[in-house]
Amino acid sequence: MRTGRLLAWYRKGARDLPWRRTRDPYSIWVSEVMLQQTQIATVIPYYRRWLKRFPTVRALARAPMDDVLKAWEGLGYYARARNLHKAARLLKKLPRTAEEWRAVTGVGAYTAAAIASIAHGERVAVFDGNVRRVLSRFEARDVTEAPPPRGKPGDWNQALMELGQRVCTPRAPRCGECPIRSDCKARASGEPERWPLKKAKKEVPHKEVAVGVIWKGGRFYVQRRAEEGLLGGLWEFPGGKREKGETFEQCLRREIREETGFRVDAGPFLVTVRHRYSHFSVELHTYHCFWRRGKAADPSSARASEGKRWVTPDEAGALAMPTANRRILDALRAAGRPPAPAF
């Protein structure tokens, strides 16, 4: 591969991205974590707001988890935010080498190599989907690792990534714009999209969930998810997956009783929210809920505690919530509280 041509192409036409204006390892670390499985255009405003809110690793370490998750809200894959926060609290100083970075919570081989090469000039290769595609097409075979960087390591790694993002794209690659096209074996074959080898796509499971907006006066109930696992630490409306043969109303009564001990009946339908995660899709069928008659359902016994709150719509807006729950909140704000039925 002709080093000079690739580096000249990158230095002349590289996109002016905010994390490319710094060699601060903390800022680069934040950018690389945010860019995992997320498009650049989506990351830019989050990155800028994050560094304004948490300008240093110490500022991040001192911040409450709720503030961290709120700053990340909508970016998805929330374990990234939790790992950043956890690592910031554990680190006494930022690592320098890729090997040291790999010992940091939430930092894998690619992220470690990116930070070390860009911030400190370590001669260590990055290998992600973009780099794999460029190298596999260049060699016309399925490449499983990258050779050591040439020239300036940070520029070389970013040049390969930029080439994969902008030119050597998964579909319809723009071979005529490629600075290394004269040596590319895939281009010479006339079938550049043949590489890298593609894996068969797995069927994505679909879940149907019943969700309840439980009212007590002018407030409704929300609960915090356990910190470990999907959407950990975020606030949500209660509910759960519908079992075979259940109506959504039956599912709501069962799930809410099991989760909270509350006895409620489903009232008016509010909204259905559809959302796609990386490994499944979901429909949230949402209903207003009201207390059932009887001592066990007395709302005066349902008090706030850690991980459980009764909130107004405005108070809920200040909490970090999953995107799908945020859309339920938007619908709730637009619709308002319905009148309580006379049971």
DSSP assignment of 42-76 equals HHHHHHHHHHHHS-SHHHHHHS-HHHHHHHHTTS-
Q: CA 10, CA 12: separation in Å to the nearest integer?
A: 5
Q: CA 214, CA 291: separation in Å to the nearest integer?
A: 8
Per-residue pLDDT of the chain (343 residues; tens, 9 = 90+): 778 899 999 999 999 999 999 999 999 999 999 999 899 999 999 999 999 999 999 999 999 999 999 999 999 999 999 999 999 999 999 999 999 999 999 999 999 999 999 999 999 999 999 999 999 999 999 999 999 998 899 999 999 999 999 999 999 999 999 999 999 999 999 999 999 988 877 888 999 999 999 998 889 999 999 888 788 899 999 999 999 999 999 999 999 999 888 988 888 999 999 999 888 899 999 999 988 755 444 444 444 457 899 999 999 999 999 999 999 999 999 998 888 665 4
Question: Which pLDDT value is given to residue 228?
Answer: 80
Model pLDDT for residues 88-101, shown as the tens digit of each residue: 999 999 999 999 99
Domain boundaries, the chain: 3-194, 206-335
Assigned CATH topology for domain 206-335: Nucleoside Triphosphate Pyrophosphohydrolase (3.90.79)
For residue 316 the two structure tokens come to 């809920």
Lookup result for tokens 């930092």? 107
Question: Which pLDDT value is given to residue 297?
Answer: 45
Q: CA 35, CA 77: separation in Å to the nearest integer?
A: 11
Q: Which of 32, 73, 122, 236 is catalytic?
A: 32
User: In the annotation, is 306 catalytic?
Assistant: no
Q: CA 325, CA 289: separation in Å to the nearest integer?
A: 16
Same fold, 3-194 and 206-335: no
Question: Which pLDDT value is given to residue 321?
Answer: 95
Cβ neighbourhood burial of 278 (10 Å; 0-12, 13-18, 19+)? exposed
Q: Are β-strands 206-216 and 264-276 bridged in parallel, bridged antiparallel, or unpaired?
A: unpaired
Q: Out of 1.20.1260.10, 1.10.340.30, 3.40.50.720, 3.30.450.40, select the CATH number for domain 3-194.
A: 1.10.340.30
Question: Which pLDDT value is given to residue 342?
Answer: 56
Question: Which pLDDT value is given to residue 203?
Answer: 84
Model pLDDT for residues 129-149, shown as the tens digit of each residue: 999 999 999 999 999 999 999
